[in-house]
Amino acid sequence: MILVTGATGNMGRHLVRQLREAGAAVRAVTRNASKAEGMASAGVEVAVGDLTEPAFLDRVFTGVDALFTLLEVGDPKAVLAAAKRAGVKRVVLVTSLLAQTLPNGFVGQLSLGCEQVMRDSGLPGTVLRPWEFATNTLAWADEIRGGGIVRKPSAGLPSPVIDPADVAAIAAKALLETGHEGRTYALTGPAELLPQDKIRVLSAILGRALHFEENGDPEKLEQIRLTPDQVSEGFGVCFMTSPGVLSTVENVLGRPPRTYQQWAASNANAFR
Ligand SMILES: NC(=O)c1ccc[n+]([C@@H]2O[C@H](COP(=O)([O-])OP(=O)(O)OC[C@H]3O[C@@H](n4cnc5c(N)ncnc54)[C@H](OP(=O)(O)O)[C@@H]3O)[C@@H](O)[C@H]2O)c1
């Protein structure tokens, strides 16, 4: 049985589907059963509860032998200790590539701390360090549905965004196959894009004129300067220096990573 935390999230939804397609037994965690609608009929066991609650942690690992977990779902020490007590044999942990490129920032520190907790637990684990998710541009949906102008304080820096479905595909491999234990995978998409590039892609897919505008709001620019890692997701704009395009997804999956175009085409309805 594979326990998937974050099962209703950007990565988790893909992972649950991919694991079921591979014939694995999956238990999906959510705090809100309505978010897991359709999973039970696809043969997924849905566990409703909060991973910050010790009683839920004790019960949810019964019969589990592999775990997929993220940075922000509960206290990593408590989650991994419960996994260890239950005899879990394999863990896939998602942190952030900021552990490498901005190690002293908030997210970098959180990532490194969490990875250390996993190493200290002694559980055989694989760390996935993805770069910015393509899904961050869902933060633009209201402005796109409205006037079609996305206004942000800055256009930020070129970013090789990754489709969370690819992070899920790597996670599925590391959960189902041996040979990934002890590895850390740094993951990016196939091309460095600026917001203007993504807007062009969305415009072509939606068949509407869309524009990106910098409004240079001094207060927000200062916020970006001080905590680029913490504000990027909310703006849907990357303010951190790119790690460059990495070949890890292709090396592990044997196919190139999905493009922003592919992600946008699959998610066009979110912008309509
Ligand atoms: N966005 C980026 O650009 C980026 C880049 C690199 C790494 N990451 C990392 O990716 C992770 C986010 O992944 P995602 O985007 O797939 O997730 P997401 O869409 O943000 O969803 C969060 C998931 O976590 C679950 N969750 C949160 N708190 C919980 C709790 N106390 N108990 C049980 N479940 C809880 C939620 O479940 P319910 O709401 O259903 O309960 C939901 O499934 C973070 O660790 C982040 O640091 C993100």
Question: Token pair for residue 69?
Answer: 């977990």
Residue 23 is which amino acid? Answer: G
101-130 pLDDT, tens digit per residue, is 999 999 999 999 999 999 999 999 999 999
How many Cα neighbours within 13 Å face the side chain of 228? 17
Mean pLDDT of 187-194: 98
Q: Render 67-135 in DSSP notation, one character per residue.
A: EEEETTSS-HHHHHHHHHHTT--EEEEE--THHHHSTTSHHHHHHHHHHHHHHHHT--EEEEEE--BGG
Mean pLDDT of 256-267: 98
Taking the CA of residue 132 as reference, the ligand 1 atom at the shortest distance is 3
- Which amino acid residue places its CA nearest to atom 29 of ligand 1? 73
Mean pLDDT computed over every residue of the chain: 97
pLDDT value of position 261:
98
Name every residue whose Cβ is closer than 8 Å to that of residue 60 and which is 6 or more positions away in sequence. Answer: 3, 27, 29, 47, 49, 51, 82
Contact 170, 130 (CB under 8 A): no
pLDDT value of position 119:
96
Instruction: Give the Cα separation of 17 and 26 in Å (integer).
Output: 9
17-37 pLDDT, tens digit per residue, is 999 999 999 999 999 999 999
pLDDT value of position 178:
95
Mean pLDDT of 235-253: 98
Residue 119 is which amino acid? Answer: R
Question: CB of 202 closer than 6 A to ligand 1?
Answer: no
- Strand partners for 133: 162
Question: CB of 233 closer than 6 A to ligand 1?
Answer: yes
With vertex at residue 169, the alpha carbon angle to CA 270 and CA 67, rounded to the nearest 5 degrees, is 105
Q: Which residues of the chain form beta strands (DSSP E)?
A: 2-4, 26-30, 45-48, 66-70, 90-94, 125-130, 149-152, 184-187, 211-214
On the question of pLDDT at 39 being above 90, the answer is: yes
Q: Give the number of residues written for the chain.
A: 272
pLDDT value of position 123:
97
Ligand 1 centre and the CA of 70: distance in Å?
Answer: 7
Instruction: Give the Cα separation of 270 and 266 in Å (integer).
Output: 9
pLDDT value of position 137:
98
On the question of pLDDT at 71 being above 90, the answer is: no
Instruction: Give the Cα separation of 19 and 26 in Å (integer).
Output: 7
Taking the CA of residue 8 as reference, the ligand 1 atom at the shortest distance is 43
Which residue out of 72, 101, 115 has the highest number of ligand 1 atoms within 8 Å of its CB and is therefore the one to mutate? 72
On the question of pLDDT at 216 being above 90, the answer is: yes
Torsion of CA 35, 39, 40, 42, to 10 degrees: 170
On the question of pLDDT at 72 being above 90, the answer is: no
Question: CB of 114 closer than 6 A to ligand 1?
Answer: no
- pLDDT level of residue 248 (50, 70, 90 thresholds): very high
Mean pLDDT of 141-156: 97
Taking the CA of residue 161 as reference, the ligand 1 atom at the shortest distance is 3
Instruction: Give the Cα separation of 122 and 75 in Å (integer).
Output: 17
On the question of pLDDT at 206 being above 90, the answer is: yes
Instruction: Give the Cα separation of 140 and 148 in Å (integer).
Output: 9
Residue 225, classified by CB atoms within 10 Å of its CB into exposed (0-12), middle (13-18) or buried (19+), is exposed
Torsion of CA 165, 170, 171, 175, to 10 degrees: 140
pLDDT value of position 13:
97
